[in-house]
Structure 1
Amino acid sequence: MTDEARITRNVFGTLPDGREVERVTLRGAGGFEARIITYGAALQALLVPDAQGRVDDIVLGHDDLLSYLLLRKYFGATVGRYANRIAKARFTLDDQDVRLEANDGAHALHGGPDGFDRKLWQIVATEGGAQPSVTMLYVSPDGEANYPGRLDVRVTYQLTGPMELAITFSARTTRATVVNLTNHSFFNLDGLAAGTGILDHRLTLAADHYLAIDETAIPLEGPPHAVEGTPFDFREAQPIGARIRADDAQIRCGRGYDHNFCLREGSGVRFAARLESPRSGRAMELLTDQPGLQIYSGNYIDATVSGKGRVYRQSDAICLEPQVWPDAPNRPDFPSARLLPDEVYRHETVYRFSIAGGAA
């Protein structure tokens, strides 16, 4: 494959104000391919071969821009300024009360009603070669969504191996602020063409504790809860659906899994999760340098949205979102999301695909 063939750009659609949305395609080996659009800096498609060599898209999304505009579901999007929830849409920073825009009941979720997933990002660099990449930039003005400081954000998608996708975020601020960025892809390792759900996927997590939540998905006061003896114990591989309907107060609060798992401490990029499909044989390892991993089992996907030729239903996909813990700006006992002008926010996550044993 030539360097030119490893990366291509084309117009994906046009916004109502006339600005073009581009799609960049990064090609690896054996049909492995990542497609990224500049609207929301989103992973629009991820093509991965199965145990039989058949290639299929494994992430939910849309084939047209209008569908992304009409219904906000965060499919594959870059989420910020603060991924997950901030309780009561407010926090205190350097003795200043910061009031955000609530969009999840009383709380702020994924940057508020007009977060980074709703922005048009600018392509600032592309690289071909054996490890093709694209880097996108968004400049968030001081006070946007009431967050302090101008934030210059970059996200790089790069194929770092034959079947490996790395996503790297960085950000700088002009004032003290809080930052928590993540990618919000919905994965189904059976492939979208199969029309199956993810409850038989096997999940392993490098987490001994998780954050229990209240009925509005805000972490409870007190320390993280141990996973041992609960439906949240994925220290060894378990089918996602094995305990998802257990008579458990936390399962009821999340209508399934919608919880932050507290990853084991360590430095740098390290193993966080493994997801396997016994049907297709695809396996995905997730490595990250973040302290938490939000697991969302697609509990609120309710057949009101469709894409890529199918209607999306509950448990059609699972999100594994590396990030700082939810509501950290209000919780001094949690890992900090604070960013100062002389610092650089960095977040790296790697998705490494392989073929698992026992494929049908």
Structure 2
Amino acid sequence: MDITKEIFGETDQQSVYAFTMKNDHGMEITCLNYGCIITKILAPDSEGRLENVVLGFDSLEEYRNHSPYFGAVVGRVAGRIKGGSFIIEGRNYVLPKNENGNHLHGGFKGFNNVIWEAKVLEKENEGSVQFTYLSPDGEEGYPGNVQISVTYTLTNTNELVISYKGKSDQKTLLNLTNHTYFNLSGNLRRKITDHSLKIKSDSILELNEQLLPTGEIKSVEGTPFNFQHARIVRDGIESDHPQILLAGNGYDHPFLLNTNHDKEIVLWDEESGRSLTIETDEPGVVLYTGNQLDGHFKIRGVLSNPHLGLCLETQGLPDAIHHPHFPSIILDKDEQYSSVTTYQFGTL
């Protein structure tokens, strides 16, 4: 296992570093101490060819100017919070409204836009980069001083493990995820429309016109949201299902997982032979098929367009604070927040 560190850029008079972990089989993961951004994952295809399977940039300026959360950790709360406010113990907390009158992915200064402390950890068959950040009381309107750690670990079995931990000195909200856009074709050779996907989920959250959960939990049976048996992503994107049209001709929906750490999410690309198996202890995963990507910037020479990548954001359910029947995302004072998601890269 080899881990290197190099300067990636500078912001607010602070250096941004890129850390590259390379395992004994040549698989590489590069991540930044800015936003915990994963910029590259070089994974083998069925012929052993290593190519990048995530969307990202080669400069900090591009991340700051164009990135729709490429590869970043988002928080304090992933997803949307209706009206940019919530109530805990009778007190109303007002958050920045950074999308259509709602609060999205932690606000203007979410975890994706801050410098994290970074430490390299090495063991015999794995290497890790541990990022830590103290989010002060009142940051983006949230209560509590929250100490966060996010650890990326690459193993010699071509597995990426993301471990999240957090603790607050006040009752607050916390719901973290990683917002990597995957494309298993390699080096953005093709869109993700012909990727196959399987999700062990029999229900989704219905969304309204602002892409906020209505509170209704809908069965996937007989709909383009039924991934209990593998299906081509294109099938749903090209359907006329009202929820698909609502999200901009694609998916942007939370799926409730039936099981955990049981190969509950599997994505693969038949042509390259690459596969990705995701396991998590979170109750849900948001499938987003890059519907809002447009052509006003390039991603390493490739014009950004809808469906160039897809996200599988393991997390608590969006806007859970306004829906008591959803699993709670409230973190009590001195309670330990902990979440683990693994990404196993393989071949068919």
Same fold (TM over 0.5): yes
Query: Structure 2 counterpart of 1:355, which letter?
Result: T
Cα deviation, 1:235-284, whole Å, max 9, x if unaligned, reads 01000001322121111111210000011155xx3432100101100000
Is it true that 1:7 corresponds to 2:3 in the alignment?
A: yes
CA distance in 2, matches of 1:175, 1:303: 43
Match in the other structure for 2:222: 229
CA contact (8 A) 1:32 1:162 kept: no
What is the DSSP-based 3-state SS (H/G/I as helix, E as strand, rest coil) of the residue aligned with 2:246?
helix
Range with greater deviation from structure 2 (277-286 or 116-125): 116-125
Match in the other structure for 1:143: 138
The match for 2:268 among 276, 280, 299 is 276
CA distance in 2, matches of 1:237, 1:248: 19
The match for 2:163 among 157, 168, 177 is 168
Match in the other structure for 2:25: 30
Task: Kindly report structure 1 stretches of 4+ aligned residues shifted beyond 3 Å.
Answer: none
- TM-score (structure 1 length as normaliser): 0.94
Q: Map 1:17-56 to 2 at 5 A.
A: 17-56=12-51
Give % identity: 37
Alpha-carbon distance, 1:327 to partner: 0.3
CA distance in 2, matches of 1:190, 1:29: 23
1:24 to 1:129, Cα distance in 2 relative to 1, 3 A: farther
Match in the other structure for 1:318: 310
Match in the other structure for 1:92: 87
Match in the other structure for 2:213: 219
Match in the other structure for 2:244: 251
1:93 to 1:180, Cα distance in 2 relative to 1, 3 A: same
Range with greater deviation from structure 2 (301-310 or 165-174): 301-310
Cα deviation, 1:11-47, whole Å, max 9, x if unaligned, reads 11111x3211011111113321110101101111000
Is it true that 1:344 corresponds to 2:340 in the alignment?
A: no
Match in the other structure for 1:118: 113
Cα deviation, 1:174-202, whole Å, max 9, x if unaligned, reads 100010000000000001252x1001000
What is the DSSP-based 3-state SS (H/G/I as helix, E as strand, rest coil) of the residue aligned with 2:206?
coil
What is the DSSP-based 3-state SS (H/G/I as helix, E as strand, rest coil) of the residue aligned with 1:275?
strand
CA distance in 1, matches of 2:224, 2:243: 9
CA distance in 1, matches of 2:338, 2:102: 25
CA distance in 2, matches of 1:295, 1:219: 14
Query: Structure 2 counterpart of 1:32, which letter?
Result: M
CA distance in 2, matches of 1:345, 1:134: 19
The match for 2:52 among 37, 57, 60 is 57
Alpha-carbon distance, 1:124 to partner: 3.4
Alpha-carbon distance, 1:123 to partner: 0.7
What is the DSSP-based 3-state SS (H/G/I as helix, E as strand, rest coil) of the residue aligned with 2:237?
coil
What is the DSSP-based 3-state SS (H/G/I as helix, E as strand, rest coil) of the residue aligned with 2:234?
helix
Alpha-carbon distance, 1:304 to partner: 1.4
CA distance in 1, matches of 2:14, 2:334: 34
What is the DSSP-based 3-state SS (H/G/I as helix, E as strand, rest coil) of the residue aligned with 1:286?
strand
Structure 2 unaligned spans of 5+: none
What is the DSSP-based 3-state SS (H/G/I as helix, E as strand, rest coil) of the residue aligned with 1:138?
strand
CA contact (8 A) 1:29 1:163 kept: no
CA distance in 2, matches of 1:107, 1:240: 29
CA contact (8 A) 1:30 1:49 kept: no
CA RMSD of aligned residues (A): 1.2
Q: Map 1:300-315 to 2 at 5 A.
A: 300-315=292-307
CA distance in 1, matches of 2:284, 2:220: 14
Query: Structure 1 counterpart of 2:5, which letter?
Result: R
CA contact (8 A) 2:205 2:215 kept: no
- TM-score (structure 2 length as normaliser): 0.97
Structure 1 unaligned spans of 5+: none
